[in-house]
Amino acid sequence: MADEFTTTVYRDEDADSTYIEDKTVAVLGYGSQGHAHALNLHDSGVDVIVGLREDSSSWPEAESEGLRVETPDVAAAEADIVQMLVPDTIQPAVYEAIEDGLDAGDTLQFAHGFNIHYGQIRPPEDVDVTMVAPKSPGHLVRRTYQRGEGVPGLIAVYQDATGDAKDQSLAYAEAIGCTRAGVIETSFQEEVETDLFGEQAVLCGGVTELMKMGYETLVDAGYSPEMAYFECMNEMKLIVDLIYEGGLMGMWNSVSDTAEYGGLTRGEYVVDEEYAREGMEEVLEEVQNGEFAREWITENQTNRPSYKQLRAAEEGHEIEDVGGSLRELFAWEEEKAEAPADD
Ligand code: NAD
Ligand code: MG
Ligand code: MG
Ligand code: MG
Ligand code: MG
């Protein structure tokens, strides 16, 4: 297998746990990432305080797992490392509540760089500002750790006041299991811009537009909505699973030669060199020049008018109706998905 990378991949032997073992970590939030970071750190012997709102339903849950819980301001004041794992749109408000608890030499850490990169949080100059971000949803961060494995992750240093920012990030990544798989160093700018571009142009935006347009093209031509749903939405998972496991060739090798020839010749009729590439460059430009960030920040400051409207329209698309009914035919799959994966 390819083991050549364009960048260094850090593993357990590159991490020195002494950079974290006498530190107290405040994990703010107990959602997808928060519960996984807090529990993995705790199991690795690191002193953890979970920071939650007093009325949070996660408070008793975290305590029942043996974790100490305080409000974010109290947790941050006591901690040496504050890991921000509340939703990105809420982070600026939570930061205001914890700001006074950041002493010189403390670390403010993130799992996504949006608020630092676009200036929504401006930490003092005497604290380290870092990122440790698993490339995976939280339940896998937790489940793999419990099996003695881990998920790949990113580290980044935005501000290094102590001189130890990178070593401490690696030690944190080790404590949550990421160096068992491999950790790559990036920058806040690169993480944010590639993340936003990927989700907008390809993963979330690109894929859904492609599916809806394919569905509409078939239905407008008189084919049945059920057939259109299967061909343009349902089967996407099968193809993506093949690509996830074996890359493009793994997928091409698994589909029929007819599908392969048709795909290789016709794909570019749709995602064409001229218009699609121009569109992607435009998406990237709005990410890089901050236009997208400004738009989204304004949305959040004005009760999300466009977001709500767009969401309602998506919910009302015919493919959602047809898909909802057809997915019930796959009810047997739910049993499989809900069964404990490994224990
Ligand atoms: P989430 O929505 O799953 O959880 C957020 C948590 O914050 C919830 O437990 C909620 O109770 C808590 N919370 C909400 N408001 C709060 C407040 N005012 N004070 C204290 N706690 C509050 O979020 P998530 O998906 O875990 O995302 C956290 C961070 O991790 C984000 O920066 C995100 O970009 C990043 N990230 C997420 C993933 C992922 O797969 N979910 C992967 C990598 C990075
Ligand atoms: Mg402190
Ligand atoms: Mg991403
Ligand atoms: Mg994202
Ligand atoms: Mg087919």
Is residue 261 included in any domain, yes or no? no
CATH of the domain at 124: 3.40.50.720
Q: Give the contacts of 43 (CB within 8 A, at least 6 positions apart).
A: 145
Percent of the chain with pLDDT over 90: 94
- 102 CA distance to ligand 2 middle (Å): 5
Q: Does the residue 308 lie in any domain?
A: yes
Mark whether 81 and 154 lie in a shared domain: yes
Mean pLDDT for the stretch of residues 187-194: 98
Q: In this structure, is residue 200 part of a structural domain? A: yes
| Count of domains observed in the chain | 2
Higher-pLDDT residue of 3, 194: 194
Digit-coded pLDDT (tens) for 254-312: 999 999 999 999 999 999 999 999 999 999 999 999 999 999 999 999 999 999 999 99
Is the pLDDT at 137 greater than 90? The verdict is yes
ipTM above 0.90, yes or no: yes
- Minimum CA distance residue for ligand 1 atom 29: 85
Mean pLDDT of the chain: 96
Per-residue pLDDT, averaged over 219-243, amounts to 98
- Nearest protein Cα to ligand 1, atom 38: 137
Confirm whether residue 32 is marked as ligand binding.
Answer: yes
Same domain, 108 and 213: no
Query: Does 50 reside within a domain?
Result: yes
- The closest residue, in CA terms, to atom 36 on ligand 1 is 111
Buried b (16+ CB within 10 A) or exposed e, 116-149: bbbebbebeeebbbbbbbbebebebbbbbbeeee
Q: Does 223 carry a binding-site annotation?
A: no
Residue 244 lies in a domain: no
The pLDDT score that the predictor gives to residue 340 is: 47
Q: Does one domain contain both 177 and 205?
A: no
Amino acid 4: pLDDT: 77
In a shared domain, residues 93 and 170? yes
CA 100-25-119 angle, 5° bins: 50
Q: Is 301 annotated as a binding residue?
A: no
pLDDT-based confidence at residue 341 (cuts at 50, 70, 90)? very low
Across 264-287, b (16+ Cβ under 10 Å) vs e yields eeeeeeeeeeeeeeebbeebbebb
Residues 226 and 143 in one domain: no
Verify that 133 and 212 share a domain, yes or no.
Answer: no
Indicate whether 2 pLDDT > 60: no
Catalytic residues: 112
Q: What residues does the ion ligand 4 have nearby, CB within 5 Å?
A: 195, 199
Give the environment of ion ligand 3: residues with CB less than 5 A. 195
Q: Are residues 77 and 213 in the same domain?
A: no
Residues 83 and 174 in one domain: yes
Residue 30 shares a structural domain with residue 179: yes
Query: What pLDDT sits at residue 330?
Result: 86
Cβ atoms of residues 141 and 36 within 8 Å: yes
State the average pLDDT over residues 316-338: 85
Q: What angle do CA 120, 123, 124 make, to 5 degrees?
A: 145
Question: How far does residue 15's CA lie from ligand 2's centre (Å)?
Answer: 23
Domain end position, chosen among 186, 221, 248: 186
What span, in angstroms and rounded, lies between the C-alpha atoms of 195 and 11? 23
**156 pairs with which residues across the strands?**
131, 186
Express each pLDDT in 6-49 by its tens digit: 899 999 999 999 999 999 999 999 999 999 999 999 999 999 99
* SS3 of 101-126: HCCCCCEEEECCCHHHHCCCCCCCCC
- Taking the CA of 88 as reference, the closest ligand is 1
Ligand 1 pocket, CB under 6 A? 28-34, 52-53, 56, 58, 72, 85-88, 90, 94, 111-112, 133-134, 137-138
Mutate to test the pocket of ligand 1, among 27, 28, 30, 33 (most ligand atoms within 8 A of CB): 33
Contacts of residue 107, Cβ cutoff 8 Å, sequence gap at least 6:
80, 81, 82, 127, 128, 129, 130, 162, 165, 168
- The pLDDT assigned to 331 comes to 80
Please indicate, yes or no, whether residues 168 and 212 belong to a single structural domain of this protein. no
In a domain, 242, yes or no: no
Residue 302 lies in domain: 196-234+272-338
Q: Is position 253 within any domain?
A: no
**Looking at the structure, do residues 214 and 317 belong to the same domain, yes or no?**
yes
Please give the pLDDT value at position 336.
59
How remote is the CA of residue 247 from the centroid of ligand 4, in Å? Answer: 22
Q: Does a structural domain hold residue 41?
A: yes
- 118: annotated binding-site residue? no
| pLDDT value at 338 more than 70 | no
What is the reported pLDDT for 342? 40
Rg for the chain (alpha carbons), in Å? Answer: 23
Q: For 69-101, what is each residue's pLDDT tens digit? A: 999 999 999 999 999 999 999 999 999 999 999
For residues 127 and 59, state if they share a domain.
yes
Give 285's contacts (C-beta < 8 A, 6+ positions apart).
Answer: 291
- The model's confidence at residue 3, banded by pLDDT at 50, 70 and 90, is low
Q: Are strands 107-110 and 128-134 parallel, antiparallel or unpaired?
A: parallel
Q: Which of 147, 162, 186 is the last residue of a domain?
A: 186
Please say whether the beta carbons of 229 and 323 come within 8 A.
Answer: yes
Residue 209 and residue 236: Cα distance in Å, rounded? 13
Q: 253: how many CB neighbours lie within 10 A of its CB? A: 11
Residues 6+ apart with CB under 8 A from 85: 27, 28, 29, 30, 31, 33, 34, 37, 111
